[in-house]
Structure 1
Amino acid sequence: MDVITDIFNRLPVKSLVRFKALSKACSSLIDDPDFIKDHLSRSIKTRSNLNIILKGLHLYSVEFDYLDNAVPLDYPLSSGARTEVFGSCNGILTFSLSDKNLAYYNPSTRQFRRLPVSEIDPPSGESCKSGYIFYGFGLDVKTNDYKVLRMATFNKTDDEENESYYFDYEVKVYSLKNNSWSKITKLPFYLRFMFQFFYHLLHRRGYGVLAGGVLHWVMPPRIEFGMRNTIVGFDLGTEEFIEVPQPNCADKSYLLDVGVLEGRLCAVCNYDQEKIDVWLMKEYGVKESWTLLLSVQRSRTINTLAFLKPLAYSKDLDKVLFEINSQKLVWYDLQKKKMRSVKIGGSPGSFGAEVYIGSLIQIDDPKRMQIEKQNELEKRKNESCKKRDDFLSKGFKLVL
């Protein structure tokens, strides 16, 4: 079994799911929490079992090792046109089916779990309407609990003039362990200025970026208020908002985005679509650890630099895969400082990209799994009894 365990640790998740049918011993090994943890840890360390989700009108999956063909992602309720993927962590994808209808999905094990519905409630005593909604998803490493953050904006229906400047918020957190939502009441004042219409609707910037156990968003600059770019974080452990130090970018104006590479926070500084600098925070929370990773200039091959998102390192750490302008993927060679486009067959014309890793992490409800297992045993028992009755009935007919 030690040898089998070592072999299984090196296999892709899809193979392991099939091998559960080999024997009870193999099934028990593959379902063992320690094995699941070790397999995931090895996948992260070796950069294996990686996939790219392309999010257009429909969802597509691309194997990271090949980056050749986009295959439609088969998932429950896949016919829903409004389905959005707003985060991934340890192989679990989070879906937004509507403003209140959210779900977890593991594409490798095909486990799907709806989150309990939590109503969006406007502030009491005020005439408000709900607006933009921010989402975030990640793991609280201290409690090993997968959490979803939902921030819903409200603006007064009778105050159109200040509609674009001033927002009330409702912030709720879902805990997978507790299978329940809780409301966050301690909200910083600056949160009211975080939403900006065009900034957040373009390129789906309302989805939190997970790094260091913290979800991150960028609060756009408010020149009229003297406010500059700010990186806003939500700590999944303490369930509190924090301000994250940002790199010392050039003095000229720039548009800031955030990304992540191998769990480390990235700051993407866009200078009027002429140049983009990508900074990497080597030690989370330490301003001095910001390091300039690369700079991309506008060129003949890339006419505009409207948007750039870091996705993943190559296995040799000599290249970085980027999504550019929501239209294509490119490899950037860190040594040669050159870019090469990646052609993926069957990909949509316009898309957002998300990296996820294949894993055996369980997300199903244990109570529901136990009920289904009990129902299956009852079904088999009834079928066995029926076969016995049929046999006895035929036997008596022969005697007669």
Structure 2
Amino acid sequence: MSKLPMDVITDILYRLPVKALVRFKSLSKPCCFLIDDPDFIRDHLNRSIQTRSNLNIILKGLHLYSVEFDALDTAVPLDYPLSNGAGTEAFGSCNGLLAFRITEKNLALYNPSTRLFRRLPVSEIDPPPGESCKSGYVFYGFGQDVKTDDYKVLRMAQFNQNDDEDGEGYFYDYEVKVYSLKNDSWRKITKLPPYLRFMFQFFYHLLHRRGYGVLAGGVLHWVMPPRIELGMRNRIVGFDLGTEEFVEVPQPECANKNYLLDVGVLEGCLCAVCNYDQVSVDVWVMKEYGVKESWSRLLSVQKTRAINTLTFLKPLAYSKFSEKVLLEINNQKFAWYDLQKKKMRSVKIGGSPGTFGAEVYVGSLIPIEDQKRKENEKQNEQGVQKNRNRNKRDDFLSQGFKLVL
């Protein structure tokens, strides 16, 4: 190894999975220094994204499971230090980091490849002052502000009247807060669009866990369900993580007006999923973010004997050579869709839960440790060591005096 040029070693390391790199940090100080270098971490992540390597799928049910994308054979329980039984939800992923909700007050970021985690500071959900209401449904989102290289968590809390039976909550503004990893603090967003009051619809959001924001183009996306009685149709709602403002997102011209809209993402491109009465589904891709004319229909799926109803469909990832797309169907199964042959083939994954939500994440070395916490732990360790040394000295002196006496 000592005779190999450093650029050759670097090129070899770029091609390795994250778990191997974590082990190889103990080979030597130069290797450890290289693998911990921010430029190496960034370039390794970019290479993984470009080559579609180091990809995994997280299955979100009563418990969390991980599946290697290249194999797609076995679901392994995700072991993480913040495990709280069946209560933990993963509500977003970005550059190998997962955002966890343990409770409404207990949120955390976790890198499953390095097993590093970071608890977010507690931020209370405060009802409007002077109003008799209660906290209702809470929307979450997680992503990166590319311009500032900052990772952010968005929380939108809805409020209901205490006697509101359906929990729709038209009466109050949402409380919207953004957490910044760089600042390690929450900030309240006060500029809210009027339509935000109509974001929540009971069956739409609870049935398929649609409260998680979809990240594309540096913007988190949700769908505001149609409300025919109010003259409101499907609408994609976006929150720009850079400007921290809500934005209008253009929609594709679907085949007809009677459809249920959902959103997804394929390799950073926003997808619109148009479901026509659970009989057929079209998946559109926005190739240039924010440009309405760049919407292009990627695929169309019809119900079959094996899939007698299409209640839910979500695109997850392209295959290695982009000839197929992996789909999650009805929160119960996976299928490869061949873009040329326009046919589907089921994928069976052993050990997966009966029902789940799926999300793709890439293995990375992105650090998220709280430096203040590490410094405090180091100071505590130093204090403990000083106390041990002091106790040893006192014991020695005590024994010495006993000998003299």
The one of 206, 217, 221 aligned to 1:216: 221
Q: Distance in 1 between matches of 2:367 and 2:236?
A: 32
- Cα distance 1:160–1:330, how it changes in 2: closer, same or farther (>3 A)? closer
Name the aligned partner's letter for residue 155 of structure 1: N
How far 1:78 moved relative to its partner?
Answer: 1.8
Which residue in the other structure is 2:52 paired with? Answer: 47
Query: How do 1:278-357 and structure 2 match up within 5 A?
Result: 278-357=283-362
Secondary structure of 2:71's partner?
Answer: coil
Query: How do 1:25-44 and structure 2 match up within 5 A?
Result: 25-44=30-49
Q: Distance in 2 between matches of 1:21 and 1:162?
A: 54
How far 1:377 moved relative to its partner?
Answer: 7.1
Which residue in the other structure is 1:100 paired with? Answer: 105
Q: Is the 8 A contact 2:84 2:102 kept in 1?
A: no
Q: Distance in 2 between matches of 1:61 and 1:162?
A: 34
Name the aligned partner's letter for residue 96 of structure 1: R
Name the aligned partner's letter for residue 170 of structure 1: E
- Cα distance 1:161–1:321, how it changes in 2: closer, same or farther (>3 A)? closer
Asked if residue 110 in structure 1 is aligned to residue 110 in structure 2, the reply is no
Asked if residue 260 in structure 1 is aligned to residue 268 in structure 2, the reply is no
Which residue in the other structure is 2:183 paired with? Answer: 178
How far 1:23 moved relative to its partner?
Answer: 1.1
How far 1:80 moved relative to its partner?
Answer: 2.6
TM norm structure 2: 0.92
Secondary structure of 1:168's partner?
Answer: coil
How far 1:125 moved relative to its partner?
Answer: 1.1
Q: Is the 8 A contact 1:47 1:315 kept in 2?
A: yes
Post-superposition Cα deviations, 1:8-54, rounded to whole Å, max 9, x if no partner, equal 01100000000011111111111100000000000000000000001
Post-superposition Cα deviations, 1:246-283, rounded to whole Å, max 9, x if no partner, equal 00012240000000000000000000000000000000
Name the aligned partner's letter for residue 7 of structure 1: I
Q: Distance in 1 between matches of 2:115 and 2:103?
A: 21
Secondary structure of 1:4's partner?
Answer: helix
How far 1:164 moved relative to its partner?
Answer: 5.4
Secondary structure of 1:60's partner?
Answer: strand
Q: Distance in 2 between matches of 1:69 and 1:125?
A: 53
Which residue in the other structure is 1:229 paired with? Answer: 234
Secondary structure of 2:208's partner?
Answer: helix
How far 1:381 moved relative to its partner?
Answer: 9.3
- Cα distance 1:320–1:104, how it changes in 2: closer, same or farther (>3 A)? same
Asked if residue 126 in structure 1 is aligned to residue 137 in structure 2, the reply is no
Structure 1 vs Structure 2 CA RMSD? 2.2
- Cα distance 1:18–1:203, how it changes in 2: closer, same or farther (>3 A)? same
- Cα distance 1:385–1:309, how it changes in 2: closer, same or farther (>3 A)? same
Which residue in the other structure is 2:16 paired with? Answer: 11
Q: Is the 8 A contact 1:217 1:233 kept in 2?
A: yes
Q: Is the 8 A contact 2:168 2:202 kept in 1?
A: no
Q: Distance in 2 between matches of 1:79 and 1:361?
A: 24
Query: How do 1:70-85 and structure 2 match up within 5 A?
Result: 70-85=75-90
Q: Distance in 1 between matches of 2:30 and 2:138?
A: 46
TM norm structure 1: 0.93
Secondary structure of 2:140's partner?
Answer: strand
- Cα distance 1:384–1:30, how it changes in 2: closer, same or farther (>3 A)? farther
Q: Is the 8 A contact 2:161 2:169 kept in 1?
A: no
Give the share of equivalent positions with the same residue, in percent.
80
How far 1:74 moved relative to its partner?
Answer: 0.3
Q: Is the 8 A contact 2:136 2:167 kept in 1?
A: no
Q: Structure 2: any 5+ residue segments left out of the alignment?
A: 1-5, 393-405
Q: Is the 8 A contact 1:89 1:139 kept in 2?
A: yes
Post-superposition Cα deviations, 1:66-114, rounded to whole Å, max 9, x if no partner, equal 0001110000132432100000000000000011110000000000110
Q: Is the 8 A contact 1:105 1:113 kept in 2?
A: yes
Q: Distance in 2 between matches of 1:35 and 1:385?
A: 43
Q: Structure 1: any 5+ residue segments left out of the alignment?
A: 388-400
Which residue in the other structure is 1:238 paired with? Answer: 243
Which residue in the other structure is 1:390 paired with? Answer: none
Q: Distance in 1 between matches of 2:192 and 2:293?
A: 28
Which residue in the other structure is 1:392 paired with? Answer: none
Secondary structure of 1:280's partner?
Answer: strand
Q: Distance in 1 between matches of 2:230 and 2:153?
A: 31
Which residue in the other structure is 1:197 paired with? Answer: 202
Q: Distance in 2 between matches of 1:89 and 1:320?
A: 20
Q: Is the 8 A contact 1:164 1:197 kept in 2?
A: no
The one of 153, 156, 169 aligned to 2:158: 153
How far 1:63 moved relative to its partner?
Answer: 0.2
Task: Please say which of residues 375-384 and 68-77 is displaced more in the overlay.
Answer: 375-384
Name the aligned partner's letter for residue 120 of structure 1: I
